[in-house]
């Protein structure tokens, strides 16, 4: 195996996604990953409370001529990437969106944004999506589902990304509430606590606290 598709986090090798002995197959797989990556709705921007950026690379284990390669950042600047492991040659490196997960409190598990969108597609009845601190409330008639994100700002970013996606799909069965007043928050907390959710959890605003550097 001479060619590797590698995921990088903050310019550090995180994991090998796939190995190839043929350069053409490796490059085709790499390009297909980039093509599919355009459909990511809500990308991961933070990990353990710190900003994080991801790239994928097409690498070779042949003797490197140089352990440096230049990539373009999100605003078009050329950024030099240096690999500490000089046993690899970097052929291509591209920015990559890792899909963020959210926590399904109702079912006590992490789900992808694709899973969340699937919930919206189950029927054509009106669904209302509210923010509450770092939570997302999905209301479908009298049925309430609750999801948590890492912070209040991530919650609002989720609503913005999701509403944009729904708009491009031309769906008319979802309504988004971009903000909630204090009286509305009190009402929602009261409603959810009566529904069986823990009130202390409802008041919480973070699941991941920023770490000091």
Q: What is the pLDDT of residues 159-205, one digit of tens each?
A: 999 999 998 888 888 999 887 788 889 999 999 999 899 999 999 98
What's the whole-model pTM score? 0.80
CA dihedral 176, 179, 183, 187 (to 10 degrees): 40
Q: What is the pLDDT of residues 86-139, one digit of tens each?
A: 567 888 889 999 999 999 998 999 999 989 999 888 888 899 999 999 999 999
Task: Name 43's Cβ contacts closer than 8 Å, sequence gap at least 6.
Answer: 97, 98, 99, 100
Task: Name 129's Cβ contacts closer than 8 Å, sequence gap at least 6.
Answer: 136, 137, 138, 139, 159, 162, 174, 175, 176, 177
Q: Where are the alpha helices (DSSP H) in 77-181?
A: 113-120, 152-168
Question: Looking at residue 213, what is its pLDDT?
Answer: 36
Q: What is the pLDDT of residues 27-76, one digit of tens each?
A: 999 999 999 999 999 999 998 888 999 999 999 987 655 555 666 556 66
């Amino acid at each position: 195996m001479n060619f590797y598709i590698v995921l990088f986090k903050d310019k550090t090798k995180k994991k090998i996604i796939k190995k190839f002995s043929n350069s053409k197959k490796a490059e085709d797989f790499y390009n297909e990953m980039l093509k599919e990556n355009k459909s990511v709705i809500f990308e991961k921007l933070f990990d353990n409370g710190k900003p994080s950026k991801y790239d994928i690379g097409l690498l070779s284990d042949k003797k490197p001529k140089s352990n440096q390669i230049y990539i373009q950042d999100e605003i078009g600047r050329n950024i030099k990437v240096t690999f500490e492991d000089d046993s690899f040659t970097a052929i291509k490196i591209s920015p990559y969106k890792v899909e963020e997960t959210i926590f399904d409190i109702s079912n006590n598990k992490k789900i992808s944004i694709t899973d969340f969108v699937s919930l919206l597609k189950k029927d054509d009845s009106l669904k209302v999506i509210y923010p509450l601190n770092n939570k997302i409330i999905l209301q479908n008639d009298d049925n309430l589902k609750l999801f948590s994100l890492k912070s209040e700002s991530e919650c609002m970013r989720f609503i913005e990304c999701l509403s944009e996606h729904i708009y491009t799909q031309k769906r008319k069965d979802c309504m988004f509430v971009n903000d909630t007043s204090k009286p509305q928050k009190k009402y929602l907390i009261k409603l959810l606590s009566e529904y069986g959710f823990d009130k202390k959890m409802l008041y919480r605003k973070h699941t991941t606290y920023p770490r000091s550097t």
